[in-house]
A and B are shown apart, each in its own frame.
Chain A
Amino acid sequence: MAEMMQKDSGGGKGKPKKRSTRIDMTAMVDVAFLLLTFFILTTTMATPKVMELNVPPKKDPKDVDVDVKESKVLTVIMGKNDRIYYYFGITDPEVKKTNFSDTGIRKILMDHIHKPGVPNCKGKETTGGCWDPIVVLKPTENSKYKNVVDILDEMSITQTPKYALTKLTEVDSTLIVDHGFDEFVK
């Protein structure tokens, strides 16, 4: 601003007056930075992330059920209020309750999937010799979408090779009730 106030001394006749070529940029800079700040603050750099989900085709009557060894199966049920119920096998299992924390379901999954000393089949079809666990995920009518995404996330975190997302059966709900959990109490 200061330079604008320079007076042209002399004036009138004589030498042509020498004008300063300086431009006061202050106002322009102010506006430029204001806009810059606005655009920096409003811009969103993050693009949404996706989780790919492959589901088996709807059941064809011609499909044959594959029998799996009971000990391989871990069933995880997502209940209300972010609860998790889980049990091993099918015959007269003991249903236990856990949660979505690091020491909860993740530990149970890690223990089930990675047996010390036994190589993991990593989902490949092999003839015995390696441990080939299966996790069955069953959301209930009380589960939130978040619970399902979280448990699918746990699958990738614990590197579970084989898992299935299926519906809760009558047997499962009876099991939960029989073990004294108030999951289905309205």
Chain B
Amino acid sequence: MPKVKPKRHVPVIDMTAMVDVAFLLLTFFILTTTFRPDEKVVVDTPSSTSTTEITPTDMMTINVDATGRCFVGFADIPSRAGVLDKIEADYGFTASAEGRQFFILQTSVGVPLKEIATWLSGTKEQMKEYEQKGVQYPYFFKDPADNDLKRWILYGRTANVRTRFAIKGDQNSPYPAIQDVISTLQDWNINKFNLITDLEAAPGGEGAE
């Protein structure tokens, strides 16, 4: 009599449920993820215990990097288009369709207003590679008569009346630079604005409200 061989079991795992979950999560993360836009300026914000969250709509962000260079950014595309209309009207040029498209996709701009026409007349590659010196404002350009930032603020507000303002400074930005930005905002009687910070844990005890 032949020996009874133990029956060999093929190890089969039913993966259906696991795959379901994996794809559900995958779909969720794909849909919720937003890639960080290509920032022209590196800003490492200081941390604070403030927990107020920002609603990025209608926000004009004034970025100031560690050296004091200033870049302005508009949160929504209609505002950017409106701002470009104002610049075109004031500086007497009309951007090409390509230039307009490029401008609208910028999250922050640091080209002096006088150079915008030249900047937007180039090819896509040239526009991308254009050296952005930063928006002219008193701290960086030392010419108080030529305060581009003041104009940008006006453009932002006229393009979208609901525009609010946020200052995104680097930890190591010299304070006089921020002071000049604040002072420019105050020139337009904008006395309420936001400082963008990172979250840091609040100290225990009496600090918590």
Contact partner of B175 (CB less than 8 A), chosen from A48, A51, A141, is A141
Question: Known contacts A3-B12, A32-B19: does B203 contact A102 (CB below 8 Å)?
Answer: yes
Q: Check if B11 sits within 8 Å of A48, measured CB to CB.
A: no
Residues 36-51 of chain B, each 1 if its beta carbon lies under 8 Å from chain A, else 0? 1000000001111111
Note all chain A residues with C-beta closer than 8 A to B203.
Answer: 102, 157
Judge whether A44 is part of the interface by a CB distance below 8 angstroms. Answer: yes
Q: Smallest CB–CB gap between A85 and chain B, Å?
A: 15
Once A40-B29, A159-B209 are accepted as A-B contacts, the answer to whether A49 and B48 lie under 8 Å apart by CB is yes
**Shortest distance between the CB of B144 and any CB in chain A (Å):** 15
Would B53 and A47 count as touching, CB distance under 8 A?
Answer: yes
With known contacts A29-B19, A42-B33, A141-B175, A2–B11 Cβ distance under 8 A: yes
Decide: A141 near B176, CB < 8 A? Known: A28-B19, A29-B22, A157-B49: yes
Of residues 156 through 209 on chain B, the ones whose CB sits less than 8 Å from some CB of chain A are 166, 169-179, 182, 186-187, 189, 191-199, 202-203, 206-207, 209
Q: A2-B11, A32-B19, A32-B26 are in contact. Are A49 and B51 (CB under 8 A)?
A: yes
User: How many residue pairs at the A-B interface have CB separations less than 8 Å?
Assistant: 155
The answer to whether B179 touches A51, judged by C-beta atoms less than 8 angstroms apart, is no
Q: Which of A7-15, A88-96, A124-132, A146-154 is the contact stretch?
A: A146-154
Chain B residues within 8 Å of A145, by CB: 46, 64, 169-175, 177-178
User: Which of chain A's residues have a CB closer than 8 A to the CB of B196?
Assistant: 48-51
CB-nearest residue of chain B to A5: B10
Chain A residues with Cβ below 8 Å from B174 are 141, 143-145
Q: Is the CB of B194 within 8 A of A57?
A: no
- State the CA gap A40–B27 with chains docked (Å): 11
Let me know if A57 and B193 touch, CB within 8 A. no
B206 touches A49 (CB 8 A): no
- Residues from chain B with Cβ under 8 Å of A156 in the complex: 49-50, 207
Are B12 and A29 in contact (CB-based, < 8 A)?
Answer: no
Q: Is A33 an interface residue (CB 8 A)?
A: yes
A-chain residues with CB within 8 Å of residue B191 when the two chains form the complex: 54-57
User: Shortest Cβ distance from A8 into chain B, in angstroms?
Assistant: 16
Which residue in chain B gives the minimum CB-CB distance to A102? Answer: B203
- Tell me the chain A residues, 1-41 only, with Cβ under 8 Å from chain B: 2-3, 22, 25-26, 28-29, 32-33, 35-36, 39-40
Asked, given contacts A29-B15, A35-B26, A55-B191, whether A146 binds B186 with beta carbons under 8 Å apart, the answer is: no
Known: A36-B22, A39-B26, A57-B186. A48 touches B33 (CB 8 A): no
10 CB-based A-B contacts, threshold 8 Å: A2-B10, A3-B10, A3-B12, A25-B15, A26-B15, A32-B22, A39-B33, A53-B194, A146-B46, A157-B202
Residues of B within 8 A of A (CB): 10-12, 15-16, 18-19, 22-23, 25-26, 29-30, 32-33, 35-36, 45-54, 64, 166, 169-179, 182, 186-187, 189, 191-199, 202-203, 206-207, 209
Given contacts A48-B196, A57-B186, A145-B171, 12 further A-B contacts (CB under 8 A): A28-B19, A39-B26, A48-B45, A49-B54, A50-B53, A52-B52, A57-B189, A58-B186, A143-B175, A145-B46, A149-B48, A157-B202
